[in-house]
Amino acid sequence: MHHSRLVFIFFSFFAGAVSAEEVQVAVAANFAAPMQAIATAFEKDTGHKARLAFGSSGKFYAQIKNGAPFQVLLSADAETPARLEQEGMTVAGTRFTYAIGALVLWSASEDMVDGRGDVLRKGGYAHLAIANPKLAPYGAAAVEVLKQLGLLDAVRPKLVQGENIAQTWQFAASGNAELGFVARSQVTRGGKLSHGSAWIVPANLHPPIRQDAVVLANGRGNAAAGALMAYLKSEQAKAVIRAYGYGI
């Protein structure tokens, strides 16, 4: 290899990091799949680059408070962005609801869940996976649904908790939990149920899962951050978001 070519490669490593408009995005675990699709389209359409990190809102909150380099937060809830805003950690006036989450009762086996969720009452399962209700809005919503159905005490011994909705899905997808309350987005591909069987929980059984986005203080003046927020509001992005089973 030529000497000059090595030098070129060496410098392009650094050039790449500096010259391209780039935004670091903290993304709620439940929104991972749609956001990857949106980020790809965003990069193609605008030339900006979105670097995605997936995790729980609680962890992101702690990291952001302690200087994490995120510029945009796509939270799984409305509280975390609001709280960061109150604490002066965001760019004022940028907070908005990018998606409204839907909860499904899901099983990896085809004939487990009926269209009305009666399986919850009937039994025939050893474990019901939910996200930790203290940490994850989908977990809190699942507990609310069980309360509304008057089943919470009956199923409590069967509950297993994932630390976030991604792990909850993993418990159910591996079959270790026969049933799980997961995000509709996790089991939806191209507007349809990807596999297994599911009951889409009626929205009136739990408070709406409003998922808010906000530009963080770190993202002030970052063109890519502003462009991404605008892109999330575009019809194009909304179509993707809806195709994954969210309301918006």
Partner 1 sequence: MPSDTILSDTALSAVWLTLRLATVTTLLLFLIGTPIAWWLARTRCWLKAPVGAMVALPLVLPPTVIGFYLLVVMGPQGPVGQLTQALGLGVLPFTFWGLVVGSVLYSMPFVVQPLQNAFDAIGERPLEVAATLRAGPWDTFFSVVLPLARPGFITAGILGFAHTVGEFGVVLMIGGNIPDQTRVVSVQIYDHVEAQEYAQAHWLSAGMLAFSFVVLLLLYLFNPNGRRR
Q: Which CB, 55 or 247, lies closer to partner 1? A: 55
Among 36, 170, 234, 236, binds partner 1 (CB under 8 A): 170
Residue 26 C-beta: closest distance to partner 1, Å? 14
16 lines the binding site for partner 1 (CB under 8 A): no
Window 112-151: residues binding partner 1 (CB under 8 A): 126-127, 129, 132, 134-135
58 lines the binding site for partner 1 (CB under 8 A): yes
Residue 74 C-beta: closest distance to partner 1, Å? 18
Total chain residues near partner 1 (CB under 8 A)? 23
Could you give the 3-state DSSP secondary structure of residue 66?
A: coil
What DSSP state is assigned to residue 90? B
106, 230 Cβ separation under 8 angstroms: no
The total of other beta-carbon atoms located within 10 Å of residue 121's CB is: 12
186, 33 Cβ separation under 8 angstroms: yes
| DSSP secondary structure of 124-144 | --S-EEEE-TTT-HHHHHHHH
- Cα dist. 53→70, 72, 80, 124 in Å? 9, 11, 17, 38
Q: Which CB, 49 or 59, lies closer to partner 1? A: 59
Binding segment for partner 1 (CB under 8 A), chosen from 34-42, 43-51, 94-102, 158-166, is 158-166
Q: Which CB, 62 or 154, lies closer to partner 1? A: 62
Could you give the 3-state DSSP secondary structure of residue 176?
A: coil
61 lines the binding site for partner 1 (CB under 8 A): yes
Q: Which CB, 110 or 235, lies closer to partner 1? A: 110
Compute and round to an integer the Cα radius of gyration of the chain.
20
154 lines the binding site for partner 1 (CB under 8 A): no
State the residue for tokens 């990091």: 17
Instruction: Give residues in contact with partner 1 (CB under 8 A).
Output: 56, 58-59, 61-62, 126-127, 129, 132, 134-135, 159-163, 167, 170-171, 174-177
